[in-house]
Structure 1
Amino acid sequence: MILPYLIVDLKLCNRTIWRYEPVTCDLITHGMQERNSWHPSTTKTLIRRLLDKNVITFNTSKNQRYYTSLIKKQEFLETEIQRLLSGMDEGCISEVSYYLNGLVKRSDTEEFNDFKI
C-alpha cells in the first residue's frame, strides 16, 4: 500500500521516472524544471527523500546513477483511484465513471491527456 504522504512525491517525480526509466538525475531535474520551475537542488532533495523511503532505487554505471521506481505505475494508479472513490457516494462514483468513460472513448483525447501521468 502506498502511504498518503508519498502521493505528492510520487506524482511529481515518478512521472519522469516511469516514462523514461532507468533515468538519470539530470533528466529528472530537467523534467522538474520544465514542468514545475524547480531549482535542481529541490529535485535532488526529492530524489533523496524517495530513496530514503524506498520508493525509488538506482544502479550506477560509468559513474552515473540510473533511477528506477520500486512502485509500479499500475499500483500507484489503483491506490489513487481507491483513495479518490473512498470519499464518494455511489451516485457520485457513477457520474465520475460515466465522465471518465466518455473521455476515454473520445477520439480527440486532449482533455484526457492532461490527466496522464
Structure 2
Amino acid sequence: MNKQITTENISSAEWDVMRIIWTLDQAKCSEIIAELKPKNNWSESTIKTLIRRLIEKGIVSADKTGRTFTYSATVSENEMMYQVAKGMFSNMCDMHKGQLLIRLIKELPLSKSAIQEIQTELTQMEKVAPETVPCDCLSKNKKHQC
C-alpha cells in the first residue's frame, strides 16, 4: 500500500468513491452506487466509470466472485492524504508553509488527542528549527525574500 499519489492522480469525484471503499474496507459496486447516487445525483454508468478509472490508476483493485465485483483500496486513506498534501506543499515557497499550516490548523476539526500530538511534535521540532525559513522561489545565488 505505498503507491505514489499526486493531486493529478485523483479527482474530487474519485475521492468520493475512495472514501466509501476506505470506510467499508472493501465494497461491492451496488454499495458504492447506493451511497453515491442519491448524494450526487450521478448515474450508475458515471459511478462505474469512476471505479474503472481508479482501477486503471492502480488505486483500487477488483476481485470477481461469480458475477459480483468487490473493490478494495491499494493505498490507505492516510497515505493518500499524505501524498496529496506533500505534493501540494512541494509546489509552495518554503517561507510560507508555516503560515498555511497555522491557517489550516485553525480551520480543521481536530480532536484533543490530535492537538496533543501536534503540540508534542512541535515541541520536538522547535529544538532544532531555524530562526527563519528562507524563500526558495529563486536560485540560491539571488538575494530575495518573497
User: TM-score, structure 1 length as denominator?
Assistant: 0.73
* Equivalent position of 1:115 in the other structure: none
In structure 2, which of residues 45, 48, 52 is the aligned counterpart of residue 44 of structure 1? 48
Greater gyration radius: 2
Deviation for aligned residue 1:36: 1.5
Report how many residues are paired: 105
Cα distance in 2, alignment partners of residues 24 and 43 from structure 1: 12
Cα distance in 1, alignment partners of residues 97 and 57 from structure 2: 35
Deviation for aligned residue 1:97: 4.9
* Equivalent position of 2:128 in the other structure: none
1:4 aligns with 2:7: yes
CA distance 1:96–1:32, shift in 2 (3 Å): same
CA distance 1:99–1:54, shift in 2 (3 Å): same
Deviation for aligned residue 1:37: 1.3
* Equivalent position of 2:110 in the other structure: 104
Contact kept in structure 2, 1:29 and 1:43, CA below 8 Å: yes
Deviation for aligned residue 1:24: 0.3
Structure 1: state its 5+ residue gaps. Answer: 107-117
* Equivalent position of 1:92 in the other structure: 99
More helix by share: 1
Contact kept in structure 2, 1:85 and 1:93, CA below 8 Å: no
Q: After TM superposition, where is structure 1 displaced by more than 3 Å over at least 4 residues in a row?
A: 83-86
Deviation for aligned residue 1:13: 1.2
Cα distance in 2, alignment partners of residues 85 and 57 from structure 1: 28
Cα distance in 1, alignment partners of residues 64 and 102 from structure 2: 47
* Equivalent position of 1:110 in the other structure: none
Q: Which amino acid aligns with 1:77?
A: M
Deviation for aligned residue 1:94: 4.2
Share of identical aligned residues, percent? 22
CA distance 1:30–1:81, shift in 2 (3 Å): same
* Equivalent position of 2:20 in the other structure: 16
Structure 2: state its 5+ residue gaps. Answer: 113-146
Deviation for aligned residue 1:29: 1.2
